[in-house]
Structure 1
Amino acid sequence: MIDIPAIRWGKPYESLEKATIVHFESGDELATLHQTNPGLVQRDMRRAQRARDILREIPSSELISMVIEAADLYLNANLPLGSGSQTPEDFVHYQSATTGLPEHMCRANMDKNHFVLTNMGEVLEALTRGLDLDILARGHGVEERGVPVSYQAQAPVIGLVLPSNSPGVHTLWMPVIPLQVGLVFKPGPQEPWTPYRMTEAFAQAGVPREAISIYPGEGDIGAAVLASCSRSMIFGGADTVARYQNDPRVQPHGPGFSKILLGDDVVDDWEQYLDVMVDSVLVNSGRSCISCSGVWASRHTEEIAQALAERLAPVLPKPADDPESPLAAFTVPGMAKAIDGMIERQVDVPGVRDLTSEMRGNGRLDERERCDYLLPTVLHCADADIEAANVEYMFPFVSVVECPQEKMLSAIGDTLVCSAITSDERWRRQLVDATHVDRLNLGPVPTIQLNWLQPHEGNIIDFLFRARAFQEAEVG
């Protein structure tokens, strides 16, 4: 069993208090993780400026090269981890064993992270809109068009309060090191693996260890990170987003409520787009904020729901090491049962049908000795005002909602990804102008298909740097 210390500005820290990480199915002990306390975090953050100072000694171009080298180490190398080491195969096995994600999904997330790191130069060029990174390093400079500009870093480090249930979120913070900003991790209790492996890959590639800290612990550690860092990201539920959405220091990431909208001009041919709908709901076990939780159309909604249910109802759990395993397990006791109860209350109202339960002849909750599963669920909602029309859960769940096209944009609410399938130019213009839609896809694009050269839930450059006026004249 591996013993994993906390990391305080690159130095291992051993605590008297440890948490044991176990395999969700077998109960085997995989690792012990040293726990930290809020006071420790607060004290260490007094030295946060040192992380940025040491990174600024290295040109951004060299840091990008280091990140690219780290990508291959992360994907392929046997890297040190606490008292032992970890191969890529170990990483996949451990991540699956603690998060409940099937191993092939963990490998897919590794490949995604590797892609973003390998293409970091192009990613940063897109996010900065072609700005010379040396201008961010100096704080001022002259653009190619001859205009003087200035950008001021708003924090020496970024705090990252990470989740346990979705290893796919890590691409959001990966551009930070080349921006010469340090990293402060509060890892999810069931998913410490990515922060530790990426930290070691960065260090092996030449990134100064002193620029990164990792503070395992409970919720009070996350609160301490948010309170102590001038810029932070946090991942959580709708309550978390509501709590921090007006705090300029915090970028909250929560449910996506991502949707597919079928325009009146294409809805009669809905069968052509069924594969797009199924993939958007099922890929990554529906556990992403970009997974589709709603299909909206003005007609044919019962037929669409029936067709989706026919495709999704037969989907059942398989062993985590099965390369075709489609569903992630719920490893936190009681969570799946609580979600099932919420859905049952939402279904038990006029205008809602659970077509998958009708088709299977039983419910969606699959309770096991050490974990639970929720089976794919397709609801039909006869009206957009029904509560079940606009909800999201961490498994393949979708509501097919009947709503007139002219009312859709006012009814869908905040939507992270909207794939609108239509050739109606007037409606396309309204979709482009909709401020409550973050990522817009026009045409049959799965909601889970991302372009990594575009910002996701806000641009991290705009979050970390402030544009300001700047003038300079010679003295004397």
Structure 2
Amino acid sequence: MRRFAWSPARNTPMTGSARFVPWVPQTLLSQRESTSSMAGPLHIPVIRRGKVYRSLDVSPLVDPRDGSLVAEISIANTDLIERDARVFHSNQTNPYRLEIEECQAIAHGAADAFLEGELELYPDGPVHGPQEYRDHLCCTTGLTQAHVHTQSERLANAIRTVTESIQQQAGGAVRKQVASGLAVILPNNAPGVNGLWLPALGLGVPVAIKPGHSDPWTPLRILSAWRSAGLSDGLMSYYPSTHAGVNMLLNSWPRGLLFGDGATVQPYRSRPDVDVRGPGRSKLIFGSDTISNWSDHMDLMVSSVLYNGGRSCICASTIVVPSHGEAIAQALAERLVEVGPSDGETLAACVEPGLAKRLNQYVDEAVRNDGVTDCSSELRGSPRWVVHDGLEYLLPTVVLCRDTSQSIAQTELPFPLVSVVEVAPDQIVDWLEPGLVATVVSDDANFVAGLRQSGKISTMHQGPIPTTEIRWDSPPEGNLVDHLCSQTGS
């Protein structure tokens, strides 16, 4: 079976850079069936180094609105994962290593294919176009079309610039050794997180992807895009699995990349072969020198809280200030109270059964404690937990924490929940829990240096930069090259 090809648009003037558009031979189109025209649910298989495997053990993926079956997902058991890893890694040489120039050409084609291509859902599978991808992703994750559009653009840019990212991360060093494989354990919260494992493909490192249950679509489309652009099937494996399968992948592959909440990642934190990402606990931190101008930064706060429906680990879940906490919390609550599911763009639905109820109960219990106030409840005039068009939502909630010891002060939840906390500048470092991102709005060199040297912030922005600003060349987004390579020289 021929693969989908990419070709310069016919009859397009070749002035400037060529514009690439998806092109599929008409004979091939007539032989292949689009997922939109197929009767019944899709089947999503295991992929073993480019070879499709259909398991007898399947997991249903349903439309949360009515419970109808969207797809059946083959589940890879631990014996299969272990056997594949043993056979694959018995070969000590990696035949898939890429030179930077070769990778760059493939990456540019893959980026265009990801955004616009009529791609195979899996090798020799049905056609899955860009709109079908977006529709399926919205259906099973609760994200809006606006969320998916933004995340897709970011992913395509990450694919297109992966070689530049690798070179920046390597800092000009010569790669002496590259890992022979990477197991990637993905979450459900945001498709954009898939951009973080792309340097592995750019280095020619084989990957074994365990997708999040509600988003099997994004990693599949990324693999199909790279395949259509010429990357070897031997680099790509895809193992939907259980928690036991996650453990087997991380134990049987040379390196691991693990996303998850505190309970998920804790058993692996001490393992040097596993790069742990999560939980986020990302923060906006104001210094004493800038807090008097806090109202100038309301847009910064709103965008950092609401990005991707508040579900990303890089969304601000805590705003730390030396003073003016009550005024800031009230003003932010007034801005966020305007946000609801009816606009169809900002909030993401909770699709996991029972999740919205559990999260709502947690917040209700937290705000009953002394020193904790829900600043949004009176402004809303409605419950936090609502149903709209058959989907459950949690409305944005701003909490003022006068008691800094309350757990909700540094809690990350998958909806727009943000706590405003007053902490004296000389006590912030001791009070902080480790987090992925912090934006520090301050020009106080000593204050900024103390936070940077604390070891509690993976990525720190200085100045009015949203916590959601993506930089693929610095942690947490960009340290995968260090994880995969040992380097020498400069």
Residue type of the alignment partner of 1:291: C
Equivalent-residue separation in structure 2 for 1:433 and 1:254 (angstroms): 20
Find out whether 1:130 has 2:155 as its counterpart: no
Residue matched to 1:55: 96
8 Å contact from structure 1 (residues 51, 182) kept in 2: no
Aligned counterpart, 1:211:
235
Partner of 1:222: 246
Q: Which moved more, 1:432-441 or 1:17-26?
A: 17-26
Give the aligned residue type for 2:317. Answer: S
Task: Tell me, yes or no, if structure 1 residue 89 matches structure 2 residue 126.
Answer: no
Describe the shift of the 1:20–1:385 C-alpha distance in structure 2 as closer, same or farther (beyond 3 A): closer
CA deviation map 1:116-142 (0-9, x unaligned): 1111221111111123xxx43xxxxxx
Residue of structure 2 equivalent to 1:31 = 71
Deviation sequence 1:252-279 (CA, Å, 0-9, x none) = 2122111111111121111001110111
Aligned residue for 1:448, secondary structure, equals coil
After superposition, the C-alpha distances for 1:371-396 in whole angstroms (9 at most, x for unaligned) are 42111010001132222211111111
Rounded to whole Å, the distance in 2 between the matches of 1:367 and 1:51 is: 54
CA contact (8 A) 1:54 1:211 kept: no
The CA RMSD measured in Å over matched residues stands at 1.9
Question: How far, CA to CA, are the matches of 1:30 and 1:182 in structure 2?
Answer: 29
When residues 338 and 369 of structure 1 are mapped into structure 2, their CA distance, relative to the original with a 3 A threshold, is farther
Which of 272, 276, 279 is the matching residue for 2:303?
279
Q: Does residue 1:327 correspond to 2:367, yes or no?
A: no
Give the match for residue 279 of structure 2.
255
TM-score, reference length from structure 1: 0.89
Counterpart residue type for residue 14 of structure 1: R
1:51, distance to aligned residue in structure 2 (A)? 9.9
CA offsets 1:172-208 (integer angstroms, 9 cap, x no match): 1011112121010111111111121111111111111
Query: C-alpha separation between the residues in 2 aligned to 1:272 and 1:307?
Result: 12
Match of 2:110 among 47, 70, 84: 70
CA contact (8 A) 1:332 1:371 kept: no
1:11 aligns with 2:35: no
In structure 1, how many angstroms separate the alpha carbons of the residues matched to 2:300 and 2:389?
35
Amino acid of the residue matched to residue 113 of structure 1?
Answer: L
Mean Cα deviation higher: 255-264 or 393-402? 255-264
Question: Per-residue CA shift, 1:59-89, capped at 9, x if unaligned?
Answer: 3421232122111111111011254211111
Q: Which residue of 1 aligns with 2:333?
A: 309
Whether the aligned pair in 2 keeps the contact of 1:333 and 1:371 (CA below 8 Å) is no
Paired position in structure 2 for 1:336: 356
> Hey, what's the Cα distance between the residues in 2 that align with 1:51 and 1:167?
33
Q: How does 1:106-185 map to 2 (within 5 A)?
A: 106-131=148-173, 135-136=174-175, 151-153=176-178, 155-185=179-209
Q: Which runs of 5+ in 2 are unaligned?
A: 1-40
Match of 1:444 in 2: 464
Is residue 411 of structure 1 aligned with residue 452 of structure 2? no
Who is 1:144 aligned against? none
2:82 to 42, 46, 61: 42
How far did 1:468 drift? 6.7
- Structure-2 separation of matches of 1:88 and 1:420: 38
Write out aligned runs for 1:397-436 (5 A).
Answer: 397-436=417-456
Q: 2:356 and 2:305 mapped to 1: Cα distance?
A: 18
Gaps of 5+ in 1: 137-150, 470-476
Shift in CA distance, 435/458, structure 1 to aligned 2, threshold 3 Å = farther
Q: Give distance in 2, aligned partners of 1:430 and 1:38.
A: 45
1:328 deviation in Å? 0.7
Normalising by structure 2, we get a TM-score of 0.87
What is the deviation of 1:432? 2.7
Q: CA deviation at 1:53?
A: 2.2
**How many percent identity over aligned positions?**
34
Counterpart residue type for residue 42 of structure 1: E
SS at structure 2 position matched to 1:175: helix
Q: Which residue of 1 aligns with 2:27?
A: none
Q: Alpha-carbon deviation of 1:304?
A: 0.3
Residue type matched to 1:268 in 2?
A: S
Q: For the Cα contact (< 8 Å) 1:127–1:455, is it kept in 2?
A: no
Determine whether 1:346 maps to 2:346: no
Q: Which region of structure 1 is more displaced relative to structure 2, 224-233 or 427-436?
A: 427-436
Match of 1:372 among 379, 383, 392: 392
Aligned-partner residue type, residue 474 of structure 2: Q
